[in-house]
Amino acid sequence: MVSKLDLYKVFCKVAKSESFSKAAKDLYLTQPAVSQAIMQLERELDIRLFNRTPKGVSLTNEGSILFEYVNSAINLIDVGEEKILELKNLTTGELKIGVGDTISKYFLLPYLEAFHNRYPNIKFYIVNGTTFELCSILKSGGVDIAICNLPIDDPTLELRPCFDIQDTFVYGEKFKKIFSKPLSLHELVKLPLIFLEPKSNSRKYVEDYMISKGIKISPEFELGSHDLLLDFAKINLGIACVTKEFSQEYLNKGLVYEVQLNEEIPKRNIGVCFLKSVPLSPASTKFVEIIENK
């Protein structure tokens, strides 16, 4: 069955070439098929669109008016298809990523660089927030994907763990004598502690683990930045709960020291999150592939 759009495409081709035979050749159709298409369109519109002459065809006044609109519409459709193809080939478009400051600084930057080197015409939009905030933004359509601290308990989200991290505690020079031997968590909580603020997913994970061991924490300081945790520990304000992988510069330079515990807190993950109900865009798909394969 020939669609109305197909008829209009034949109409425009005939109008431009002023010949049924030339239009048929360009459209890879037979001349009778082109003639039939024009006759069908004229019947449906109840108007004559072309003047037929031995030398070819020319538009009637009504046909000329119709051509202006139809040709513009088809050109717009072609442009739209080209834009879709560009998006599929990642020659244009945007990628909206939700991520916290710490994960952005210590984990995400190399992947942003790798993606940008491959697809320089894709624009990045970065939205910062806590894991809880980012999940909310993701579900409202504010970002395409989010890079978050796992675990997350949300059945609407697809979670792809991509990097293992270890929670640990660090201290400054003043506390060296206390940590001359490994301590238990029960002994550790008797010291001044420095944690991230309660709404942080990292804080919640460690706190839940300690509660499962019958240990309740009462931090001396609650901060909004991982870097501040390290700085507070460095100047001996307390024992900071940090992510080991994000603290290597301070540890390697001897600015802080890692607490040796009798038992390690179980590792957790950083992961990519996106909505199960919404297909990933081509840009998002490629970015997730880069993270998972690098």
Any residues with CB less than 8 A from the CB of 126 and at least 6 apart, and which? 97, 98, 99, 104
Tens digits of residue pLDDT in 254-280: 999 999 999 899 999 999 999 998 888
Q: What is the pTM of this model?
A: 0.74
Confidence of residue 91 (pLDDT cuts 50, 70, 90): confident
Distance CA 28, CA 31 (A): 9
Give the bridge partners for 127, in sequence order.
Answer: 98
Tens digits of residue pLDDT in 169-211: 999 999 998 898 899 999 999 999 999 999 899 999 999 999 9
- Look at residues 243, 239, 241 and name the one whose alpha carbon lies nearest to residue 176: 239
- Domain 85-163+269-293 sits in CATH at 3.40.190.10
Tens digits of residue pLDDT in 11-66: 999 999 999 999 999 999 999 999 999 999 999 999 999 998 888 899 999 999 99
Tens digits of residue pLDDT in 243-253: 999 999 999 99
pLDDT at residue 231 in the model: 97
Distance CA 259, CA 188 (A): 9
Domain spanning 1-69, CATH class: mainly alpha
CA diameter of the chain: 106
166-267 shares the fold of 85-163+269-293: yes
Per-residue burial over 223-261, b = 16 or more CB atoms within 10 Å of its CB, e = otherwise: beebbebbbbbbeeebbbbbbbebbeebbeeebbbbbeb
Distance in Å from the first CA to the final CA of the chain = 49
Helix (H, G, I), strand (E, B) or coil at 91: coil
Report domain extents, the chain: 1-69, 85-163+269-293, 166-267
Confidence of residue 82 (pLDDT cuts 50, 70, 90): confident
- Its sign, for the CA torsion 158, 163, 168, 172, is negative
Which CATH architecture is the domain 166-267 placed in?
A: 3-Layer(aba) Sandwich (3.40)
